[in-house]
C-alpha cells in the first residue's frame, strides 16, 4: 500500500529504462467521478446566449434595467485600460451610463466568442463607436462623427445565482486614439 492507502500501480519494465526503486510506486488518487448533466454543446449555447444578452440585448440597447439584472448589487468592476475601479452596482451604472449619453456618441459591442463555465468566463468582443462631443479617450480634442473599432475582452466571475460579481475589461486605447487622431480636427 502507498502512503495514501491506494494499491501501488505496477509499471512494466521496458528495455533501456531504469528500474523503479522500492517505495517509488505511483498510485493514482481515487477521486469521485463527476457526472456532467450538461453537454459541451449545451454549455457553449448557454454561455453564448448569456454573452449575447449582456452585449446585444442590454448594453447595445442602452437598457440599464436589463444590465442591472445581470449584476450582483456588490459587483466589483474594473476597466483596466481607463483605470476605472468601481464597487457596487450604483458606481458601475454611473460609469456605463456615460456611454449612453448623446454627448458620448454611439457605442456598440459585437460578440466574437465566449469561453467559460457557470463560475467564470471571458467574452471577446469588437467595440465600434462613433464619437460625439465628449472626449472619452482623452485625445485632447473633440472628435464628433469620427469612428473607431477595437477588439477587447471582459473577464467575469459569477455567483451561484449566475450574477456577475466581478468584471475586468481589457482593450487597447492606443488603437482607438490612433483611429480618432487620423482624421483632422472638426
In a domain, 122, yes or no: yes
In a domain, 35, yes or no: no
DSSP 34-66: PPP-S-HHHHHHHHHHHHHHHIIIIITTT-HHH
User: CA-to-CA distance for 89 and 146, rounded, in angstroms?
Assistant: 31
The reply to whether 29 falls in a domain is no
> What pTM was computed for the model?
0.72
pLDDT in tens, 140-165: 888 899 999 999 999 999 998 889 99
Nearest to 147, CA basis, from 176, 169, 111? 176
Beta bridge partners of 155: 122, 168
Query: Three cell numbers at 168?
Result: 475586468
- Check which CATH number belongs to the domain holding 82 and give it: 3.10.450.50
1 within domain boundaries: no
pLDDT in tens, 28-87: 444 444 444 545 555 455 577 888 899 988 999 999 999 999 999 999 999 999 999 999
Task: State the residue range of the domain holding 93.
Answer: 40-181
Mean pLDDT on 101-124: 91
The tally of domains found in the chain comes to 1
Amino acid at each position: 500500500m502507498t502512503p495514501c492507502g491506494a494499491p501501488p500501480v505496477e509499471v512494466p519494465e521496458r528495455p533501456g529504462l531504469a528500474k523503479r526503486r522500492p517505495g517509488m510506486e505511483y498510485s493514482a488518487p481515487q477521486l469521485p467521478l463527476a457526472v456532467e448533466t450538461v453537454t459541451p454543446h449545451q454549455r457553449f449555447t448557454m454561455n453564448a446566449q448569456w454573452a449575447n444578452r449582456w452585449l446585444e440585448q442590454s448594453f447595445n440597447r442602452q437598457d440599464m434595467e436589463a444590465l442591472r439584472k445581470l449584476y450582483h448589487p456588490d459587483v466589483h468592476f474594473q476597466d483596466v485600460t481607463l483605470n476605472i475601479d468601481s464597487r457596487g452596482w450604483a458606481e458601475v451604472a454611473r460609469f456605463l451610463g456615460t456611454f449612453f449619453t448623446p454627448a458620448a456618441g454611439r457605442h456598440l459591442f459585437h460578440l466574437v466568442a465566449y469561453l467559460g463555465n457557470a463560475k467564470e468566463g471571458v467574452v471577446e468582443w469588437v467595440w465600434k463607436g462613433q464619437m460625439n462631443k465628449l472626449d472619452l479617450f482623452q485625445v485632447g480634442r473633440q472628435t464628433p462623427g469620427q469612428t473607431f473599432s477595437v477588439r477587447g475582452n471582459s473577464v467575469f466571475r459569477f455567483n451561484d445565482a449566475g450574477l456577475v460579481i466581478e468584471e475586468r475589461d481589457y482593450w487597447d486605447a492606443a488603437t482607438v486614439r490612433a483611429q480618432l487622431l487620423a482624421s483632422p480636427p472638426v
